[in-house]
Amino acid sequence: MRLTEQRPTGHGRLRGLITAVCGVVTIAAGLLIPSQFKSLPLVLVEEAGLGSPGVVETGHDLLERGEVAASVLLAEAGAELKLEGVERLTREVAGYIEVNPDVAVWGEWDPFLEQAFRGAEPGVPGENGVIGQFISADARERVLALLSNSRSPTVRVLLATRDLTTYRRFMPVFSAAGQPLEATINLTALLTQSEQFSTNAAREIRAMAGDALATGEAAGIERLYADLLSLGRRFNWGQMTALVRPAATTETFGKLRQLLQRLPEARAVLFASCLLAGNPDAVADYIIRYGDVGLEAMSFALRQGRGGVLFLLRQNLPPSGDFPDSGAGTDWLSSETLGPVLSFAVREPGLALGLKYGLYLLGAFCLFWSFESFSGLTWLAGFPAFAYVRRGMGAVMVCLFLVLINEPYLAQASQLSGYEFRIVIPVLGQVADGTLRSQQTDGVNMDIATVLSIVFFFILQLLVYLICLLKISEVDRKPVPNLVKLRLMENEENLFDSGLYVGIAGTSAALVLQVLGLIEANLLAAYASNLFGILCVAFVKIRHVRPYKTRLIEISQEQILAEVAPGKASI
């Protein structure tokens, strides 16, 4: 293969210029489509939340239905997020409580609570939540008297756990310090009786209580009681029911408990997120996975409304970009400038991502093509297919480069800090100690950044392999004797070893960038370049160069013998 230069004609220059402009415009169009590969642009969250009910609107709706407890926390969340109209919601909530002072204790009316506490002195709202209303001897006796006549098998099996003596962190019910455990059991049973748990969660609760009674080991049900006790200290009855009702499994209670112990100041935001999403499992998983950044992203999504929260949880990606102080205007890529593009990316995220990378590939292909047309550089005639292969490989490498610069979490040396669980069952209901600690989230060994690096090095070696094949084909097509071809092949040994040079260069460059902290440390991706270089050189020399040289030697030997034989016959 050799490179020749021709004087570009006016038509060639014009064609090259038009192709270059088309390539630049195509790549620019790809850049305008927000990427949702390894991170989620905040502008898409903002777009997804347009027109959807927000925290304040949901608070008004709940207040109209008499669910004042949830409205109180939504008003707190709106104040923390500095939402418009939150002052009006706060005044309406205060006015409702002033007219209905009984809801200040429980948060909302409930027929089972009214039946259990009929004639009792109303409790005093405080910081102890619903557990504070269940802890007194009178309250425990009233709730037990109501539940003892229950026909629910789950309620009966829960009440039977009062007699277990194998609790490790709680004192037994019959002991002098058994009030927290008894109050928690009564609370769990009353939530079950009033059908506040989902069907699956209620089934799990019944199974855990049954196993505890059958085996005598209370570890499983004790963990559930610890989770509900911790939540019961932070929320009143109305807030508690709104939080546990949509939970699909009992594991969600543990996740919420640990998040609240790690982030007590985020109680209102966490509650509002669970309420608007209707899926506390997904909310807890997202914040645990992405840590402080996840909480900040959830707060931003809350400012946009329910649509923003649901979109953030559905994509389940870390945010990209800087968080603004309010929900208005994340950057110049806003609904005012690119409304249809953003709307399309929200509706069809997978199709939008494919279109984005397709535009990258097409634009890079046009740029490589225009370079040859505009400069007049052409490759050896006789290999037209190689031109398209070369442009395609170059386009793929440009696409990979654009993906890396557009995705902040692909080439970063540091990863997001998440939260790690450390199960600690509280003693006697004292659940103030934090049980979450920040950690560096361990990435999987074959993450997407590693795969892209390996693909890049593989394409590079594939290009070297094709160049070597073209050189062998070029030598074979030369109108020269076979001995000359053999000498030419020996002269190209450095070219046939170029795979090793490229592989070593790729490994060295990757290691240097890792040491400098510019990319994430990953030895697998670095040494993949060297491995591909060894395989490329071995395949070229063993599969192509050696057989071709052998054939040249055999043909040359036959020609020499054919020339010598007539001379011997004449002698």
* Residue 479, Cβ density class (10 Å: 0-12 exposed, 13-18 middle, ≥19 buried): exposed
Report which listed range, 173-177, 365-369, 510-514, is most confident.
173-177
- Distance CA(492)–CA(510), nearest Å, equals 28
Task: Write down the residue that tokens 């390894």 correspond to.
Answer: 38
Q: Lowest-confidence range among 206-220, 221-235, 323-337, 486-500?
A: 323-337
Token digits of residue 558? 């036959």
φ, ψ (nearest 5 deg) of residue 151: -95, -5
Give 427 or 271, the one with higher predicted confidence: 271
Residue 415 has pLDDT above 70, yes or no: no
Q: How confident is the model at residue 123 (pLDDT cuts 50, 70, 90)?
A: low
Q: Are strands 436-440 and 3-5 parallel, antiparallel or unpaired?
A: unpaired
Mean per-residue pLDDT, 272-280: 94
Give 388 or 530, the one with higher predicted confidence: 530
CB 49 within 8 A of CB 305: yes
The proportion of the chain whose per-residue pLDDT surpasses 90, expressed as a percent, equals 35
Torsion, CA 525, CA 526, CA 529, CA 531, rounded to 10: -90
Element spanning 295, H or E? helix 280-304
Q: How confident is the model at residue 255 (pLDDT cuts 50, 70, 90)?
A: very high
Report which listed range, 96-100, 204-208, 326-330, is most confident.
204-208
Give 371 or 539, the one with higher predicted confidence: 539
Residues 6+ apart with CB under 8 A from 387: 372, 379
- Distance CA(409)–CA(403), nearest Å, equals 11
User: How many CB atoms are closer than 10 A to CB 42?
Assistant: 25
pLDDT given at position 448: 62
pLDDT given at position 231: 94
Q: Lowest-confidence range among 220-224, 228-232, 337-341?
A: 337-341
pLDDT given at position 128: 74
Mean per-residue pLDDT, 530-543: 87
Mean per-residue pLDDT, 52-58: 93
Mean per-residue pLDDT, 167-174: 89
Give 414 or 305, the one with higher predicted confidence: 305
- Distance CA(467)–CA(244), nearest Å, equals 64
Q: How confident is the model at residue 325 (pLDDT cuts 50, 70, 90)?
A: low
pLDDT given at position 479: 86
Give me the residue spans of the domains in the chain: 47-342, 443-571
Long-range contacts of the stretch 101-104 (C-beta < 8 A, 24+): 103/66, 103/68, 103/69, 103/238
CB 234 within 8 A of CB 270: no
CB 459 within 8 A of CB 397: yes
Please write the tens of the pLDDT for every residue from 482-523: 888 888 888 888 888 888 888 888 888 878 777 766 566 667
pLDDT, averaged across the chain: 81
Q: Lowest-confidence range among 22-26, 131-135, 250-254, 391-395?
A: 391-395
> What's the maximum distance between 2 C-alpha atoms anywhere in the chain?
137
Overall pTM > 0.85: no
Residue 186 has pLDDT above 50, yes or no: yes
DSSP three-state, residue 379: strand
Please write the tens of the pLDDT for every residue from 301-311: 999 999 999 99
Mean per-residue pLDDT, 147-151: 90
- Distance CA(296)–CA(286), nearest Å, equals 11
- Distance CA(361)–CA(403), nearest Å, equals 11
Of 417, 415, 401, nearest to 364 by C-alpha is 401
pLDDT given at position 374: 59
